[in-house]
Amino acid sequence: MVRFFVQFTNGQTVYYSGQTLSGSIVLELSGPWPVLSRSVCLGIHGEAYAIKKECKTRYYDYVCYLNRVLKLWSAPPGQESLPAGIHRFPFSFKLPDRLPRSFEHDANTYGGLLAVERSYIRYWVVASVDRPSHSDITCKVPFTILEYININDACLLHSMTSENEKQLCCCCCTSGPLFLSASVDRMGYCPGETVTISASAENHSSRQLVGLQARLVAVTTVLSPTNGLATRNKVTVTRLGTGRAIPPRGSDSWSNAKLEIPALPPTIDSCRMLTRDYYVQVEIAVARGFDLETYFPIIIGSVPFRESSQVNDVVTIDSTDIDGCGYPPPLTVPRSATTVPAAVPQFTVSNQVINVAANGDQSALNYTPVYPYAHNARKAPTAIATRGDPPEYEEGKEDQPLL
């Protein structure tokens, strides 16, 4: 045998839910193959998986989304030996609708002891040649599922505003209050775009404050299918600050400050075991004290903002509406924003190659998670493909952190 591999149609390994996964298994032989072969099969698999740690004990959660085997060739009786040459075994499989997007999250990337050590949503195919008198020959290739989330949906085109205040205490004495008012330009963004933030801070206390800051926070939640308990990890993706301190009885303000969104996984709310949410946090940082914060839940999508889209009315966010662990309620992706139209907008992607292995499989894969990234964020996207065709992508020039 010379080569055995999986060849996707047009080399495309990135798909939307509901599209057709197609290609061929290629077996190239330099001479007649004396080993008996009964069949050539293709397995199509997808799963959500998480490793959680409590003290020194590890727990594993798992949900299967795809587990199909296609028999592409069966040997006729008496013809189990394949001749020399190139043998192609084509396949075609319509992916289910509403598959959760591919996702890779390594909590150890950020250091420290975290509750969820590793979680992913992963898809791959396994080609195999069934040989009754020898071990099977296999070849495994991952592919990526992207969810279509259009941030130009009317439900995501609201700007948001929020206010908060607190009394600043100094030892046993009560100092003056702090006031914070902030706003962001909309509810939905695509990686590569910027969140436009305006903010006003008033310091009526006798202490000097660190100053205004903003951050984009990602929250990964793993819900155990066995006991229903949720485990959450929070990480700051990127932050913004001016470095200006706010003096006693002083104030500071931002006007259209820009918080850039790097290449990262879009919001995930279609997986029954794993979710990924985002929010923007604007705060007055207080040295040796509790910060005064406002929260803006947002959706990270896969279709950039169009200049022709109109931002709707202002929505007021209650920054005191947080749970006992300090998390604001996440936004739900509107179903109208996930409906794939006849023409799919163009966007580019940024990726990073990592070495992974599927659950229970010791063989390693060089897998590239694909994240949408609008390199020309202000340019309106153009239609490049129909629903029946694979979307087109372009590799980003810079590797981005795996989130």
Question: Does residue 381 fall inside a structural domain?
Answer: yes
- Would you say residue 400 has pLDDT above 80? no
- Would you say residue 396 has pLDDT above 90? no
Q: Which stretch of 35-39, 47-51, 293-297, 381-385 has the lowest confidence by average pLDDT?
A: 381-385
> How many Å apart are CA 70 and CA 42, to the nearest integer?
5
> How many Å apart are CA 260 and CA 243, to the nearest integer?
17
Residues 116 and 7 placed together within one structural domain of the fold: yes
Question: Does residue 308 fall inside a structural domain?
Answer: yes
Q: Exposed, middle or buried, 389 (CB in 10 Å: 0-12/13-18/19+)?
A: middle
- Would you say residue 167 has pLDDT above 70? yes
pLDDT average, residue stretch 332-336: 91
Question: Does residue 398 fall inside a structural domain?
Answer: no
pLDDT average, residue stretch 333-358: 72
Beta bridge partners of 314: 159
Contacts of 111 (CB under 8 A, 6+ apart): none
- Would you say residue 381 has pLDDT above 80? no
What per-residue confidence (pLDDT) applies to 354?
55
What per-residue confidence (pLDDT) applies to 301?
93
Question: Does residue 11 fall inside a structural domain?
Answer: yes
Structural domains of the chain, count: 2
- Would you say residue 233 has pLDDT above 50? yes
pLDDT average, residue stretch 26-55: 81
- Could you tell me the two tokens for 355? 């070495």
Position 236 confidence tier, pLDDT thresholds 50, 70, 90: very high
- Could you tell me the two tokens for 262? 């790097």
Domain that holds residue 212: 154-338
- Of the two residues 4 and 134, the one the predictor is more confident about is 4
Residues 143 and 215 placed together within one structural domain of the fold: no
Residue 124: CATH number of its domain: 2.60.40.640
Q: Which stretch of 47-56, 107-116, 224-233, 263-272 has the lowest confidence by average pLDDT?
A: 107-116
What per-residue confidence (pLDDT) applies to 313?
87
Q: Exposed, middle or buried, 328 (CB in 10 Å: 0-12/13-18/19+)?
A: buried
Question: Does residue 396 fall inside a structural domain?
Answer: no
What per-residue confidence (pLDDT) applies to 288?
83
Residues 78 and 160 placed together within one structural domain of the fold: no
Residues 356 and 318 placed together within one structural domain of the fold: no
Residues 224 and 280 placed together within one structural domain of the fold: yes
- What share of residues in the chain are helix, strand, coil (percent, to 5)? 5, 55, 45
> How many Å apart are CA 367 and CA 13, to the nearest integer?
11
Residues 198 and 135 placed together within one structural domain of the fold: no
What per-residue confidence (pLDDT) applies to 100?
92
Q: Which stretch of 88-97, 154-163, 389-398 has the lowest confidence by average pLDDT?
A: 389-398
Question: Does residue 126 fall inside a structural domain?
Answer: yes
- Would you say residue 34 has pLDDT above 60? no
SS (H, E, C) 19-57: CEEEEEEEEEECCCCCCCCCEEEEEEEEEEEEEEEECCE
Residues 196 and 106 placed together within one structural domain of the fold: no
List the one residue out of 107, 125, 124 whose CA is nearest residue 116. Answer: 107
Residues 117 and 250 placed together within one structural domain of the fold: no
Read off the amino acid at residue 8.
F
- The structure tokens 């163009």 sit at 346
Position 110 confidence tier, pLDDT thresholds 50, 70, 90: very low
What per-residue confidence (pLDDT) applies to 353?
57
What share of the chain has pLDDT > 70, as a percent? 80
pTM (predicted TM-score) = 0.83
- The predicted-structure confidence for 260-311, as pLDDT tens digits, reads as follows 999 888 999 999 889 999 999 999 999 888 899 999 999 999 989 988 788 8
- Would you say residue 403 has pLDDT above 60? no
Residues 104 and 221 placed together within one structural domain of the fold: no
- The structure tokens 């706010």 sit at 246
